[in-house]
Amino acid sequence: MSRRSDMHGFTLIELMITLALLTIVLGIAVPNFTAFIQKTQLQSQADDLVAILQYARGEAVTRKTTAEVIVSDTDAWVVRVGNESVRELSHNPNLAKMDADVASIVYRSNGTATPALVTICRDDEFEKGYVVAVRASGSPTVHPRGKNADGSPLTSCTR
């Protein structure tokens, strides 16, 4: 079938093929993109936690006093120096649940801290979770996704 030279546009078959290819690409991309966003949210929460722990440690050393990070399952984590709240780490438990094995993390004036383990998960998907360990030296460390502090596979989102 030949076209007239003054006709422009797409045929119905060309349009249907384009829509079919677009549907296939979106069917593959959307679930992967959703998983990527969820992983990024967990990684971001772990990084934010390490940042606030490093801040608390720095404040304790700088002010030559103790700094305490008050742990909460549902509310913001608060850094207190003396009786003053100096910083908060808010989190949405629906996006990333943070579960610690202590009620507070205390940094002393020499930079040392009470040891703690914090598990960060989403929807009990422990294989995608992170563990942040605070050593007695005061240094916080994020362990690889899905791994415990000792390197073994993470088997639970609770401490």
What does the pLDDT read at residue 82? 87
Domain ranges of the chain: 12-142
pLDDT digits (tens, 9 = 90+) for 23-81: 999 898 888 888 888 889 999 999 999 999 999 999 999 999 999 999 998 889 999 99
Question: What is the CATH topology of the domain spanning 12-142?
Answer: minor pseudopilin epsh fold (3.55.40)
Contact criterion met (CB below 8 Å) for 70 and 78: yes
pLDDT digits (tens, 9 = 90+) for 93-113: 888 889 999 999 999 999 999
What does the pLDDT read at residue 95? 82
The helix or strand, by DSSP H or E, that contains position 30, with its residue range, turns out to be: helix 12-63
Q: What is the mean pLDDT of residues 16-22?
A: 94
Burial of 152 (0-12, 13-18, 19+ CB in 10 A): exposed
Phi, psi of 145 (to 5 degrees): -55, 130
Q: Which residues contact 54 (CB under 8 A, 6 or more apart)?
A: 140
